[in-house]
Amino acid sequence: VTEFELIRLLKPALPGNDQVVDGAGDDCAVLDLGAPGMVTLLKTDAVVEGVHFESGESPVRIGHKAMGRCLSDMAAMGGLPVAAVVTLGLPEGWHPDRIEGIYQGLCALAARWRTAVVGGEVTRNPGGLFINVCLVGSATRESVVRRAGASPGDGIFVTGELGGSLEGRHLDFEPRLAEGRWLAEGGWASSMIDLSDGLAGDLPHLLEASGGIGAELRMESIPVSRAAKLRGARGDMARPPLLAALCDGEDFELLFTVRPGKAVALLDGWKAAFPSVRLTCIGRIETKPGVRLREGTGFRPMPGGGFEHFAGVEGN
Ligand SMILES: [Mg+2]
Protein backbone atom coordinates (compact mmCIF):
# COMPACT_ATOMS: atom_id res chain seq x y z
CA VAL A 1 0.00 0.00 0.00
CA THR A 2 1.45 3.39 -0.91
CA GLU A 3 1.14 6.49 1.27
CA PHE A 4 -1.43 7.92 -1.13
CA GLU A 5 -3.58 4.79 -1.31
CA LEU A 6 -3.60 4.82 2.47
CA ILE A 7 -4.79 8.45 2.56
CA ARG A 8 -7.56 7.61 0.09
CA LEU A 9 -8.60 4.63 2.22
CA LEU A 10 -8.68 6.44 5.57
CA LYS A 11 -9.81 9.93 4.61
CA PRO A 12 -13.57 9.35 4.19
CA ALA A 13 -13.96 8.15 7.78
CA LEU A 14 -12.03 10.98 9.46
CA PRO A 15 -14.18 13.05 11.83
CA GLY A 16 -14.49 16.76 11.17
CA ASN A 17 -16.19 19.75 12.77
CA ASP A 18 -17.21 23.33 11.98
CA GLN A 19 -13.72 24.67 12.55
CA VAL A 20 -12.13 22.57 9.79
CA VAL A 21 -11.70 24.71 6.68
CA ASP A 22 -9.56 22.12 4.83
CA GLY A 23 -8.96 18.63 6.22
CA ALA A 24 -6.46 16.02 5.05
CA GLY A 25 -5.05 16.26 1.54
CA ASP A 26 -2.90 19.39 1.41
CA ASP A 27 0.52 20.30 2.82
CA CYS A 28 -1.18 21.54 6.02
CA ALA A 29 -4.71 21.36 7.39
CA VAL A 30 -6.52 24.72 7.56
CA LEU A 31 -8.56 25.52 10.69
CA ASP A 32 -10.72 28.44 11.72
CA LEU A 33 -10.19 28.97 15.45
CA GLY A 34 -12.19 32.18 15.54
CA ALA A 35 -9.57 34.88 14.99
CA PRO A 36 -11.16 37.31 12.52
CA GLY A 37 -9.62 37.08 9.06
CA MET A 38 -7.08 34.50 10.17
CA VAL A 39 -6.71 30.75 9.83
CA THR A 40 -4.53 28.27 11.69
CA LEU A 41 -2.35 25.82 9.76
CA LEU A 42 -1.52 22.42 11.26
CA LYS A 43 1.03 19.86 10.13
CA THR A 44 2.67 16.70 11.42
CA ASP A 45 5.62 14.87 9.93
CA ALA A 46 8.09 12.18 10.99
CA VAL A 47 11.60 11.15 10.04
CA VAL A 48 12.64 7.55 10.59
CA GLU A 49 16.05 5.92 10.79
CA GLY A 50 16.83 3.96 7.63
CA VAL A 51 14.08 5.75 5.68
CA HIS A 52 14.89 9.46 5.93
CA PHE A 53 18.43 9.24 7.25
CA GLU A 54 21.14 6.62 7.76
CA SER A 55 21.89 5.22 11.20
CA GLY A 56 25.28 6.89 11.48
CA GLU A 57 24.11 10.36 10.48
CA SER A 58 24.96 13.39 12.60
CA PRO A 59 22.22 14.04 15.20
CA VAL A 60 22.28 17.79 14.46
CA ARG A 61 21.48 17.18 10.79
CA ILE A 62 18.73 14.68 11.68
CA GLY A 63 17.11 17.26 13.96
CA HIS A 64 17.40 19.94 11.29
CA LYS A 65 15.71 17.72 8.76
CA ALA A 66 12.87 16.75 11.11
CA MET A 67 11.99 20.40 11.74
CA GLY A 68 12.74 21.48 8.17
CA ARG A 69 10.24 19.09 6.60
CA CYS A 70 7.36 20.55 8.62
CA LEU A 71 8.51 24.11 7.98
CA SER A 72 8.67 23.36 4.25
CA ASP A 73 5.01 22.28 4.31
CA MET A 74 4.15 25.50 6.15
CA ALA A 75 6.00 27.41 3.41
CA ALA A 76 3.97 25.62 0.74
CA MET A 77 0.74 27.09 2.19
CA GLY A 78 2.24 30.57 2.59
CA GLY A 79 1.99 30.26 6.39
CA LEU A 80 3.91 31.75 9.27
CA PRO A 81 5.13 29.02 11.64
CA VAL A 82 4.32 29.65 15.32
CA ALA A 83 5.08 26.65 17.53
CA ALA A 84 6.02 22.98 17.41
CA VAL A 85 5.90 19.93 19.67
CA VAL A 86 8.33 17.07 19.19
CA THR A 87 8.06 13.34 19.86
CA LEU A 88 11.22 11.24 19.94
CA GLY A 89 11.21 7.46 19.69
CA LEU A 90 14.54 6.13 20.91
CA PRO A 91 16.07 2.70 20.47
CA GLU A 92 17.95 1.09 23.38
CA GLY A 93 21.26 2.60 24.39
CA TRP A 94 20.88 6.05 22.92
CA HIS A 95 23.34 8.41 24.54
CA PRO A 96 22.00 11.70 25.96
CA ASP A 97 24.63 13.60 23.92
CA ARG A 98 23.04 12.41 20.71
CA ILE A 99 19.58 13.45 21.88
CA GLU A 100 20.97 16.86 22.72
CA GLY A 101 22.43 16.96 19.22
CA ILE A 102 19.05 16.26 17.66
CA TYR A 103 17.47 19.05 19.71
CA GLN A 104 20.32 21.37 18.78
CA GLY A 105 19.62 20.90 15.06
CA LEU A 106 15.90 21.06 15.54
CA CYS A 107 15.93 24.16 17.75
CA ALA A 108 18.49 26.13 15.74
CA LEU A 109 16.30 25.93 12.65
CA ALA A 110 13.12 26.62 14.61
CA ALA A 111 14.70 29.66 16.28
CA ARG A 112 15.82 31.05 12.92
CA TRP A 113 12.14 31.12 11.91
CA ARG A 114 10.90 32.35 15.30
CA THR A 115 9.17 29.05 15.87
CA ALA A 116 8.76 28.10 19.52
CA VAL A 117 9.26 24.51 20.64
CA VAL A 118 6.63 24.17 23.33
CA GLY A 119 6.68 20.57 24.42
CA GLY A 120 7.18 17.01 23.45
CA GLU A 121 7.39 13.42 24.41
CA VAL A 122 10.09 10.79 24.55
CA THR A 123 9.24 7.14 24.13
CA ARG A 124 11.21 3.98 23.56
CA ASN A 125 11.23 2.46 20.10
CA PRO A 126 13.21 -0.76 19.67
CA GLY A 127 12.86 -0.50 15.89
CA GLY A 128 15.08 2.56 15.52
CA LEU A 129 15.15 6.30 15.98
CA PHE A 130 12.19 8.33 14.87
CA ILE A 131 11.33 12.00 15.34
CA ASN A 132 7.87 13.41 14.89
CA VAL A 133 7.29 17.14 14.68
CA CYS A 134 3.84 18.69 14.90
CA LEU A 135 3.76 22.31 13.79
CA VAL A 136 1.13 24.99 14.08
CA GLY A 137 1.18 28.22 12.09
CA SER A 138 -1.06 31.01 10.90
CA ALA A 139 -2.00 32.93 7.78
CA THR A 140 -4.61 35.42 6.72
CA ARG A 141 -7.63 33.60 5.39
CA GLU A 142 -7.37 35.04 1.90
CA SER A 143 -3.62 34.54 1.47
CA VAL A 144 -3.50 30.75 2.06
CA VAL A 145 -2.31 28.94 -1.05
CA ARG A 146 -3.50 25.39 -1.67
CA ARG A 147 -2.61 22.58 -4.06
CA ALA A 148 -5.99 23.20 -5.65
CA GLY A 149 -6.25 26.38 -7.70
CA ALA A 150 -4.21 25.82 -10.87
CA SER A 151 -6.02 26.52 -14.16
CA PRO A 152 -5.19 25.79 -17.79
CA GLY A 153 -2.88 28.51 -19.12
CA ASP A 154 -1.13 29.12 -15.77
CA GLY A 155 2.66 29.11 -15.87
CA ILE A 156 4.43 26.48 -13.72
CA PHE A 157 7.33 27.79 -11.62
CA VAL A 158 9.89 26.19 -9.36
CA THR A 159 12.32 27.74 -6.86
CA GLY A 160 15.98 26.74 -6.68
CA GLU A 161 17.41 23.72 -8.46
CA LEU A 162 16.28 20.11 -8.55
CA GLY A 163 17.80 16.68 -8.07
CA GLY A 164 20.74 15.11 -6.28
CA SER A 165 19.50 15.91 -2.77
CA LEU A 166 21.00 12.61 -1.59
CA GLU A 167 24.40 14.28 -2.00
CA GLY A 168 23.61 16.06 1.26
CA ARG A 169 21.00 18.74 0.67
CA HIS A 170 18.17 16.55 2.00
CA LEU A 171 19.73 17.02 5.44
CA ASP A 172 20.79 20.66 5.14
CA PHE A 173 18.07 22.41 3.15
CA GLU A 174 16.63 25.73 4.25
CA PRO A 175 12.81 25.71 4.06
CA ARG A 176 11.49 28.34 1.64
CA LEU A 177 9.38 30.11 4.26
CA ALA A 178 10.19 33.69 3.26
CA GLU A 179 9.55 32.87 -0.38
CA GLY A 180 6.30 31.03 0.37
CA ARG A 181 4.87 33.92 2.37
CA TRP A 182 5.96 36.46 -0.22
CA LEU A 183 4.20 34.47 -2.94
CA ALA A 184 1.06 34.05 -0.82
CA GLU A 185 0.78 37.59 0.47
CA GLY A 186 1.45 39.10 -2.95
CA GLY A 187 -1.29 36.91 -4.42
CA TRP A 188 1.18 35.52 -6.98
CA ALA A 189 0.54 31.78 -6.66
CA SER A 190 -2.74 30.21 -7.80
CA SER A 191 -1.62 26.85 -6.35
CA MET A 192 1.47 25.60 -4.54
CA ILE A 193 3.14 22.47 -3.13
CA ASP A 194 6.60 21.77 -1.74
CA LEU A 195 8.73 19.18 -3.50
CA SER A 196 9.28 16.28 -1.13
CA ASP A 197 8.64 13.40 -3.57
CA GLY A 198 10.30 14.93 -6.63
CA LEU A 199 8.80 17.00 -9.43
CA ALA A 200 7.51 13.87 -11.17
CA GLY A 201 5.84 12.74 -7.96
CA ASP A 202 4.47 16.03 -6.62
CA LEU A 203 3.27 17.84 -9.75
CA PRO A 204 0.57 15.15 -10.25
CA HIS A 205 -0.71 15.88 -6.69
CA LEU A 206 -1.16 19.54 -7.58
CA LEU A 207 -2.85 18.65 -10.87
CA GLU A 208 -5.17 16.16 -9.22
CA ALA A 209 -6.12 18.60 -6.44
CA SER A 210 -6.82 21.24 -9.12
CA GLY A 211 -9.46 19.07 -10.74
CA GLY A 212 -7.57 16.52 -12.84
CA ILE A 213 -5.94 18.93 -15.29
CA GLY A 214 -2.55 18.34 -16.94
CA ALA A 215 0.80 20.00 -17.61
CA GLU A 216 3.40 20.42 -20.29
CA LEU A 217 6.98 20.83 -19.06
CA ARG A 218 9.83 22.10 -21.24
CA MET A 219 12.74 19.75 -20.74
CA GLU A 220 15.42 22.38 -21.36
CA SER A 221 13.90 24.64 -18.70
CA ILE A 222 14.14 22.19 -15.79
CA PRO A 223 16.73 23.67 -13.37
CA VAL A 224 19.05 20.69 -12.85
CA SER A 225 21.25 21.02 -9.77
CA ARG A 226 24.99 20.55 -9.79
CA ALA A 227 24.52 17.62 -7.39
CA ALA A 228 22.20 15.94 -9.91
CA LYS A 229 24.82 16.40 -12.62
CA LEU A 230 27.51 14.93 -10.36
CA ARG A 231 25.29 12.02 -9.51
CA GLY A 232 25.09 11.20 -13.20
CA ALA A 233 28.72 10.21 -13.07
CA ARG A 234 28.90 8.57 -9.68
CA GLY A 235 28.89 4.91 -8.71
CA ASP A 236 25.88 2.80 -7.85
CA MET A 237 23.44 5.71 -7.54
CA ALA A 238 24.30 6.99 -11.03
CA ARG A 239 21.40 8.24 -13.12
CA PRO A 240 21.00 10.78 -15.89
CA PRO A 241 20.89 14.33 -14.41
CA LEU A 242 17.48 15.13 -15.90
CA LEU A 243 15.97 11.98 -14.40
CA ALA A 244 17.52 12.91 -11.05
CA ALA A 245 16.01 16.41 -11.30
CA LEU A 246 12.56 14.99 -12.05
CA CYS A 247 12.52 12.03 -9.69
CA ASP A 248 14.93 12.44 -6.77
CA GLY A 249 12.88 13.28 -3.71
CA GLU A 250 13.49 15.77 -0.95
CA ASP A 251 14.41 18.91 -2.88
CA PHE A 252 12.13 20.94 -0.56
CA GLU A 253 11.75 23.60 -3.22
CA LEU A 254 8.40 25.26 -3.96
CA LEU A 255 6.41 24.33 -7.05
CA PHE A 256 3.63 26.78 -7.88
CA THR A 257 1.43 28.10 -10.66
CA VAL A 258 0.86 31.69 -11.78
CA ARG A 259 -1.91 33.21 -13.90
CA PRO A 260 -0.72 33.86 -17.45
CA GLY A 261 -0.73 37.68 -17.27
CA LYS A 262 1.36 37.82 -14.09
CA ALA A 263 4.54 35.94 -15.02
CA VAL A 264 6.70 38.89 -16.08
CA ALA A 265 5.78 41.00 -13.04
CA LEU A 266 6.42 37.99 -10.81
CA LEU A 267 9.93 37.48 -12.17
CA ASP A 268 10.74 41.20 -11.71
CA GLY A 269 9.38 41.24 -8.16
CA TRP A 270 11.17 38.01 -7.32
CA LYS A 271 14.55 39.29 -8.51
CA ALA A 272 14.20 42.29 -6.20
CA ALA A 273 12.99 40.25 -3.21
CA PHE A 274 15.18 37.12 -3.53
CA PRO A 275 18.18 38.01 -5.70
CA SER A 276 20.09 34.86 -4.74
CA VAL A 277 17.27 32.33 -5.26
CA ARG A 278 16.71 30.98 -8.73
CA LEU A 279 13.13 31.02 -10.01
CA THR A 280 12.30 29.19 -13.23
CA CYS A 281 9.21 28.87 -15.37
CA ILE A 282 9.29 25.21 -16.40
CA GLY A 283 6.03 24.83 -18.30
CA ARG A 284 2.33 25.42 -18.45
CA ILE A 285 -0.92 23.99 -17.11
CA GLU A 286 -3.15 22.41 -19.75
CA THR A 287 -6.68 21.03 -19.86
CA LYS A 288 -5.57 17.57 -21.04
CA PRO A 289 -4.78 15.39 -18.00
CA GLY A 290 -1.30 13.96 -17.45
CA VAL A 291 2.21 15.39 -17.57
CA ARG A 292 4.02 15.76 -20.89
CA LEU A 293 7.71 16.53 -21.20
CA ARG A 294 8.51 18.59 -24.29
CA GLU A 295 11.94 18.13 -25.84
CA GLY A 296 12.48 20.43 -28.82
CA THR A 297 9.52 19.82 -31.11
CA GLY A 298 8.63 16.38 -29.70
CA PHE A 299 7.73 14.80 -26.40
CA ARG A 300 9.46 12.27 -24.24
CA PRO A 301 7.63 10.14 -21.71
CA MET A 302 7.49 11.47 -18.17
CA PRO A 303 9.12 9.09 -15.71
CA GLY A 304 6.55 7.18 -13.68
CA GLY A 305 6.83 9.08 -10.43
CA GLY A 306 9.06 10.42 -7.72
CA PHE A 307 10.73 8.36 -5.10
CA GLU A 308 8.78 7.71 -2.01
CA HIS A 309 11.19 9.34 0.40
CA PHE A 310 14.83 8.70 0.97
CA ALA A 311 14.91 4.94 0.43
CA GLY A 312 17.07 5.24 -2.69
CA VAL A 313 14.86 2.80 -4.58
CA GLU A 314 15.34 3.21 -8.29
CA GLY A 315 12.21 4.68 -9.84
CA ASN A 316 10.82 3.77 -13.22
MG1 LIG B 1 4.46 18.83 1.32
- Side by side, the strands of the sheet bearing 38-48 are 20-22, 29-31, 38-48, 130-140, 80-90, 116-124
Distance 95 CA to ligand 1 centre (A): 32
* pLDDT, mean of residues 258-266: 96
pLDDT of residue 309: 36
pTM to 2 decimals?
Answer: 0.93
Distance 253 CA to ligand 1 centre (A): 10
pLDDT of residue 224: 95
Distance 119 CA to ligand 1 centre (A): 23
Band of residue 234 on the pLDDT scale cut at 50, 70, 90:
low
Convert the pLDDT of each residue in 119-151 to its tens digit: 999 999 998 999 999 999 999 999 999 999 999
Convert the pLDDT of each residue in 141-183 to its tens digit: 999 999 999 999 999 999 999 998 888 889 999 999 999 999 9
Distance 7 CA to ligand 1 centre (A): 14
pLDDT higher than threshold 70 for residue 314:
no
Distance 15 CA to ligand 1 centre (A): 22
Distance 67 CA to ligand 1 centre (A): 13
Distance 121 CA to ligand 1 centre (A): 24
Distance 195 CA to ligand 1 centre (A): 6
Distance 214 CA to ligand 1 centre (A): 20
Q: Of all residues in the chain, what percent carry a pLDDT higher than 70?
A: 94
